[in-house]
Amino acid sequence: MDRRSFLPVAAALSGAVLSDAARAQAPLAPCKGPDVVYEPTPLGVVARMLEVAQVKAGDVVYDLGCGDARIVIAAAQRGARGVGFEIEPNLVQYAAANIKAENLFDKVKVVQQDLFMADMADATVVALYLLPEMNTRLRPKFWKELKVGTRIVANAFPIGGWEADRIFEVPTRYRQMYLYTVKPEHKRA
DSSP output for 152-169 = EEEESS--TTS--SEEEE
* Position 65 in a domain: yes
Length of the chain: 189
Contact 43, 107 (CB under 8 A): no
Amino acid 172: pLDDT: 76
Three-state secondary structure call for residue 62: strand
Which structural domain range is residue 141 located in? 3-23+39-188
* Position 29 in a domain: no
Amino acid 15: pLDDT: 45
* Position 147 in a domain: yes
Number of helices and strands in the chain (H, E): 7, 7
pTM greater than the 0.85 cutoff:
no
* Position 28 in a domain: no
Q: Tell me: the pLDDT tens digits for 27-67?
A: 433 455 666 778 889 999 999 999 999 999 999 999 999 99
* Position 34 in a domain: no
The tally of domains found in the chain comes to: 1
* Position 124 in a domain: yes
Question: How many whole angstroms separate alpha carbon 180 and alpha carbon 117?
Answer: 21
Question: How many whole angstroms separate alpha carbon 162 and alpha carbon 17?
Answer: 36
Q: CATH no. for residue 17?
A: 3.40.50.150
Amino acid 91: pLDDT: 96
* Position 31 in a domain: no
* Position 61 in a domain: yes
Instruction: Give the residue ranges of the chain where pLDDT is below 50.
Output: 1-30
